[in-house]
Structure 1
Amino acid sequence: MADYTELLRAHARAGADEALRDLRHLVAIPGSAWAGTDPLHLERSAALVAELFEGAGFPEVGVVRVPKPDGMPGAPAVLAHRPAAPGCPTVLLYAHHDVQPTGDLGAWHSPPFEAVERRGRLFGRGVADNKGGVVLHLAACRALVRALGAEGGVGVTVLVDGEEEVGSPSLPRLLDTHGALLRPDVVIVADSGNWRVGVPALTTSLRGFASATLEVRVLEHSLHTGTFGGPVLDALAALSHLIASLYAADGSVAVPGLVGWDEGRPELSEEDYRLDAGVLHGVQLAGSGSIASRLWAKPALSVIGIDAPPVALSADAIVPSARARFSLRLAPGDDPARALAAVRSHLEANVPLGTRITLTPGASTKAFAGDAASDPARKMLAAMEEVWGVEPVLMGVGGSIPAAAELAGRFPSAQVLITGVEDPDSRAHGADESIDLGDFHKAVLAEALLLASLGAPAT
């Protein structure tokens, strides 16, 4: 790397302010693919992403759309392409420009759609997940072209998804439609993060994901608790019973048949986990085995929403029906459809007093396992160590990235590398989402070094 490291370093440093300005502009657009949000924001976000990559010297840039499986219009994605020189590989850079809803605005210390810098961190919805990943790719490509020229070297295709946060439902058809353009030798998915601030990481495994909504019904309509209460169990009590049955006494998932094992590397201490997660004093951790195994290699089930009368508006009446939505994270090696069938069987076996239940599946994503010994992975790790000055960590992530498994399945000969700009305090999906700016700039340089090394004559 010695021939071009300092040149790339200089151009990455020179482009740092430009990259932050682009990230601030992207954060200011509240583009979300969630139902009920204004789709025009996603259109604006996609248009800006396309404009930025066109300005970075990509000769082929466009906003593309394909229908979702239900026939409804998919969200706008961005495709950009710069062909490879003869004999050089093509790298696919993936990220997404859609974001999660803000949640409780009162929990934010600054407006979520205004990127604000505090104490070396940049705060705002999407700075970590995943507009930071978009600008990471953008800034790395700029540094590469400015240092080594637009002609020759590695080919680059950029795919910026517009609906990752709702499971990327259009992605399979988009790949069907534009697969001839893609055909990568290496894929870099910039939607993960680092081990901690100052310690880079390559993500080598992701859990799978399945969601569903459980509805219980006990009555045709609500009834006076005094006149009819006693002989029938209200829907909230029945729902609570079913939810409780999903967990063992130690808090681990109690559904028979789900895959899971103990993962020993690298270890994360309980103290570090409690600090990173903000676990309240006295609250015991659920499950057994190492923290790493509970995060990366065992199932986790979270109830993320309940439809029921709010306390302030509740009448003195027996509740006839109630719903709960849950998120199930699956260990690599498990299948979302099979796992959801196991949950259904468990619920049916634990229905209290003949309560009627309906389980409606939601989004699902397959797990991912990468190859840390591949040549691109070794080059990525070398670039990280060159930039950070410390040995990178090979880590798993408990979350899911639909594109990782989809791209790995579509292009089995391509190596999929998962990086990103998050760290344990980034709070992706939560209030005060943020990134460490020092690590962000290091990630830009590391990716630029990798792209240069992949296009070097020795490759």
Structure 2
Amino acid sequence: MDLGQELSGVVDGMLPELTGLLGRLVEIPSIAFPGYPEENVRKAHDLVAGELRKSGVGEVRVLELPETSPVVYGRIPAPEGAPTVLLYGHYDVQPAGDESLWHTPPFTPTERDGAIYGRGAADCKANVVAHIGALRAFGGKPPVGVTVVIEGQEEYGSVFDDYPAEHPELFQADALLICDAGNIRAGQPTLVTALRGVADVFVEVRTLDAPVHSGQFGGAAPDALLALISALSTLHDADGNVAVAGLRRDSWQGANYTDQEFAEVTGMAPGMPLLGTGPIGERIWYGPAITVIGLDAPPTKTAASAVVPYAKAYLNVRVHPQQDPAEGQRAVIEHLRKVKPYGIELEVTGGDVGAGFAARTDGPAYTAMSAAMKRAWGVDAVDSAMGGSIPLTNSMAAANPDAEVLMLGVEDSRCNMHGFNERVLVSELRNVTLAEAEFFRLFAEGARR
């Protein structure tokens, strides 16, 4: 029996233990948003820290940062000549939302049809459990050095996003496993190699001191809402492609969704067309997107027959992984300032920005993880990307400019993270755990050659 088969058997034997641990974690409503009980976050922290100690991580301690839930930090020293791997995840979760829309209580883990349902089951507690399982597969003595970083306020955001770059000595590693991502579809091992950047833009227009009668003055009085709608309509062409000069879009060569698959994943209404043209991956991962995520205007229920004097829109702009998000933000601001619908000046301002990320795919860690994934799933791994951003990735990369960044995880496109009825497939938990353990072995072997 080769070591790969042995690891597979070990992980399979541990699976009941790992799913049980995941259930214990899901039971804790570790929501780090303001207004939620802090003791639940602390309880989840203590459970994770304790389980890591049982898994061979001897140097477990807490990183206490201002106004931030505690970060679990631990280390296993590297055997002589072996590389070090940093394992990242988070134990906090999103709020459950309207619990009446869940098929089962969000904090009562429920196993059904090969899946475990519950808030945080996929995002990101199963990834934390996979780290623990990979360490236990070697009896707590992996063939690589390990640094474990499990944060407790990823969903809400905190100063920890910038901490690694400011304290690089704590985060030195040869490979960074950012396990807060997942597979393009269940059963298809996927390495996420790019993240789009993000920027916020606000557009305001004021045309009158107060509303005026639409019958008496409509037709000549400047309508703020009409002007805003006219300006927003210039952001896209007739096919729905972003039409702002200066926003980068490149061809995407990795895995892709089919049109039907994308429609099903996003819950599109029957017959609804997709926005834009070209491969879907190019549209959602390697090109820009501008979404109107908020609008200040009179609601229809209480609207009066009056010309609207003021309106405001909140735009979320996503940019190519290798484009400076501030540059993309400026492009949108300049575009809107030039529009002047009906000669009306718009007030356009920028908000927060977050950088995208593009990972190397030519190093020994990427090669080892690709091989490890094939062993775990039985099929070749593919490259994918995420339209969202993981701010910590850039900070971790800045602390380790020579390290390879590998983004992966238990999630799949139907796991409903952040939504109702979130679930993780037990098969994906098993395979991520095995892939990580196989990666430790293959990466260590490669370093010894």
Does the pair score TM above 0.5? yes
Q: Which residue number corresponds to residue 97 of structure 1?
A: 91
Equivalent pairs counted in the alignment come to 447
State whether residues 144 and 444 of structure 2, in contact with CA within 8 Å, keep that contact through their aligned partners in structure 1: yes
AA matched with 1:134: V
- How many Å separate the matches in 2 of 1:143 and 1:416? 23
Residues 56-93 of structure 1 deviation map (CA, whole Å, 9 limit, x = unaligned): 231122232334xxxxx234322121111222111101
> Greater CA deviation, 182-191 or 219-228?
219-228
CA change 1:448–1:107 in 2 (3 A) is same
The answer to whether structure 1 residue 334 and structure 2 residue 333 are counterparts is no
Q: Which residue number corresponds to residue 294 of structure 2?
A: 305
Over the matched positions of the two proteins, sequence identity in percent amounts to 38
Q: Which residue number corresponds to residue 58 of structure 2?
A: 59
State whether residues 54 and 61 of structure 1, in contact with CA within 8 Å, keep that contact through their aligned partners in structure 2: yes
Residues 97-156 of structure 1 deviation map (CA, whole Å, 9 limit, x = unaligned): 233344444443223333322322222222222222222212212222x2xx53x73111
Query: Taking structure 1 as the reference length, what is the TM-score of the superposition?
Result: 0.88
- How many Å separate the matches in 2 of 1:407 and 1:99? 21
Q: In angstroms, what is the RMSD of aligned CA positions? A: 2.7
State whether residues 372 and 435 of structure 2, in contact with CA within 8 Å, keep that contact through their aligned partners in structure 1: yes
CA change 1:370–1:360 in 2 (3 A) is closer
Query: How far off its partner does 1:443 sit?
Result: 1.0
State whether residues 65 and 174 of structure 1, in contact with CA within 8 Å, keep that contact through their aligned partners in structure 2: no
Q: Which residue number corresponds to residue 46 of structure 1?
A: 45
State whether residues 337 and 345 of structure 2, in contact with CA within 8 Å, keep that contact through their aligned partners in structure 1: no
- How many Å separate the matches in 2 of 1:387 and 1:125? 26
- How many Å separate the matches in 2 of 1:231 and 1:169? 50
Q: Which residue number corresponds to residue 268 of structure 1?
A: 257
> Greater CA deviation, 428-437 or 386-395?
428-437
The answer to whether structure 1 residue 426 and structure 2 residue 415 are counterparts is yes
State whether residues 60 and 75 of structure 2, in contact with CA within 8 Å, keep that contact through their aligned partners in structure 1: yes
CA change 1:302–1:162 in 2 (3 A) is farther
Give the SS at the match of 2:123.
Answer: coil
Which one of 434, 439, 447 corresponds to residue 436 of structure 2? 447
- How many Å separate the matches in 2 of 1:51 and 1:351? 60
- How many Å separate the matches in 1 of 2:48 and 2:116? 20
CA change 1:159–1:354 in 2 (3 A) is same
Query: Post-superposition, which runs of at least 4 consecutive aligned residues in structure 1 deviate over 6 A?
Result: none
Q: Which residue number corresponds to residue 424 of structure 2?
A: 435
Query: How far off its partner does 1:429 sit?
Result: 2.5
Query: How far off its partner does 1:290 sit?
Result: 1.2
CA change 1:346–1:83 in 2 (3 A) is same
Query: How far off its partner does 1:387 sit?
Result: 1.6
Give the SS at the match of 2:87.
Answer: strand
Give the SS at the match of 2:162.
Answer: helix
CA change 1:309–1:79 in 2 (3 A) is farther
The answer to whether structure 1 residue 285 and structure 2 residue 274 are counterparts is yes
State whether residues 164 and 395 of structure 2, in contact with CA within 8 Å, keep that contact through their aligned partners in structure 1: no
Query: How far off its partner does 1:280 sit?
Result: 1.8
Aligned pairs (5 A) from 1:337-376: 337-352=326-341, 353-362=343-352, 364-376=353-365
State whether residues 227 and 344 of structure 2, in contact with CA within 8 Å, keep that contact through their aligned partners in structure 1: no
Query: How far off its partner does 1:368 sit?
Result: 1.8
Q: Which residue number corresponds to residue 371 of structure 2?
A: 382
Q: Which runs of 5+ in 1 are unaligned?
A: 68-72
Give the SS at the match of 2:322.
Answer: coil
Q: Which residue number corresponds to residue 110 of structure 2?
A: 116
Q: Which residue number corresponds to residue 70 of structure 1?
A: none
State whether residues 235 and 319 of structure 1, in contact with CA within 8 Å, keep that contact through their aligned partners in structure 2: yes
Give the SS at the match of 2:128.
Answer: helix
CA change 1:231–1:428 in 2 (3 A) is same
Query: How far off its partner does 1:38 sit?
Result: 5.0
Query: How far off its partner does 1:358 sit?
Result: 4.5
AA matched with 1:410: A
CA change 1:46–1:216 in 2 (3 A) is farther
Give the SS at the match of 1:129.
Answer: helix
Query: How far off its partner does 1:315 sit?
Result: 5.2
Query: How far off its partner does 1:256 sit?
Result: 1.3
- How many Å separate the matches in 2 of 1:193 and 1:347? 36
CA change 1:257–1:232 in 2 (3 A) is same
State whether residues 161 and 168 of structure 1, in contact with CA within 8 Å, keep that contact through their aligned partners in structure 2: no
AA matched with 2:389: S
State whether residues 191 and 406 of structure 2, in contact with CA within 8 Å, keep that contact through their aligned partners in structure 1: yes
CA change 1:416–1:219 in 2 (3 A) is same
- How many Å separate the matches in 2 of 1:63 and 1:100? 22
CA change 1:134–1:326 in 2 (3 A) is farther
